[in-house]
Amino acid sequence: MATEITVPVLGESVTEGSIGEWLKQPGDAVAADEPIVSLETDKVAVDVPSPVAGVMSEHRAAVGDTVEVGAVIAVIEAGEAAPKPAAKADTPAPAAAKEAPADTGASQTLSPAVRRAVLEHGVDPSTINGTGKGGRITKEDVLEAAKKKGDPAPAPAPAAATIPTPSTGGRGEERVKMTRMRQTIAKRLKGAQEEAALLTTFNDVDMSAVIEARTKYKDLFAKKHDIRLGFMGFFAKAACLALKDVPSVNAYIEGDEIVYHDYVDISVAVSAPNGLVVPVIRDCQDKGFARIEKDIADFGKRAKEGSLTMADMTGGTFTISNGGVFGSLMSTPIINPPQSAVLGLHRIEDRPVAVNGEVVIRPMMYIALSYDHRLIDGREAVTALKIIKEAIEDPTRMLIDL
């Protein structure tokens, strides 16, 4: 009996995806609920499980093909896979890690990013104890296993098309097809530049008070809430104050109407293996520091694993992007449509500043607010950024709603 595998519903308003990777090849045995293919959508990579046990009969779409929701992409036949021929005595057996990860018992918990790391580093996932949720193997687990076996650097990933470098030495080129996510990121950001009237305003923030608060309470905070107290919680709460006082920064344009929100859903820009993703902290205005920090930590972990879902990234009324973690001193962040503003954070560095007529050294950070000038006037943008600055420099304002 044959079972057709179709493209599942991938999320609200998502009508198609592309084949990112086949996890099962024709002839392979397939267990019920075992992932057989990774689909790339505009925002995430989604593993599609088999609804039945059997044998992969055929693929009806190739890697890179665009497939619509409901389209048949594979067929699974009832039965068992034929045994694979044993290796000849004079032929070395292939390394376990060079086989498709789906042939190992651990494959059922591997994300696309982890599978790529397994192949790049040549490790056997069946020998790795996963540290992720539910025993899931993470990319960090693979890297740790690679270090233990003395593999400091990954093998070069296969390319879609490569111009080989001459053996005598020369200049090679490599062409790799853009992932669907990267193509969508490019289109959305370019569309934001073409549609919105983008402008950026800057300010600088003395981080002394926040650093002092973290130093004083970090151990008690971690002990009570089981999470590290970071900077993002402070900026998220400061942003909530600003967006409450300047509602246009938390709004967006739809047609000839302005849509205002009485809640704050903050999109947090996170770097993932396939590109930048922006999971959303819902109802940030009602959450405390611990809940915000836990949400951010969970997003970062799942972004690395490749396990974020469409629901995690749907919506969002305002974005915070922290380029400081990569060492950025100053930038002009670009808005995340249909949002109208984004807050850019940067690295903290000691700089001389004038305080009460004296020059002192303080830990300073440049902050930037990019905004859509069609909706937000310069006065409003400057006011919002100034509120954020004042709340960070005097965190008591966040407690008494000033």
Q: Where are the beta strands (DSSP E) in 11-109?
A: 16-22, 29-30, 35-40, 45-49, 54-59, 66-68, 72-77
Distance between CA atoms of 38 and 137, rounded to whole angstroms?
Answer: 17
Q: How many CB atoms lie within 10 A of CB 193?
A: 10
Q: Could you report how far apart the first and last alpha carbons of the chain are, in Å?
A: 67
SS3 3: strand
ω before 338 within 30° of 0 (cis)?
A: yes
Distance between CA atoms of 342 and 83, rounded to whole angstroms?
Answer: 56
SS3 168: coil
Strands 318-322, 266-268: parallel, antiparallel or unpaired by DSSP? Answer: parallel
Helices assigned H by DSSP within 149-247:
180-195, 208-225, 231-245
Distance between CA atoms of 216 and 79, rounded to whole angstroms?
Answer: 63
Distance between CA atoms of 322 and 343, rounded to whole angstroms?
Answer: 8
Which residues have CB under 8 Å from 219's CB, separation 6+?
none
By the 8 A CB rule, do 126 and 96 touch?
yes
Q: Which residues are catalytic?
A: 373, 377
- Sign of the CA dihedral running 29, 35, 39, 45: negative
By the 8 A CB rule, do 282 and 222 touch?
no
Tell which residue, 78, 8, 79, has the closest CA to residue 37. 8
SS3 113: helix
Instruction: Say which residue the tokens 């001389």 belong to.
Output: 352
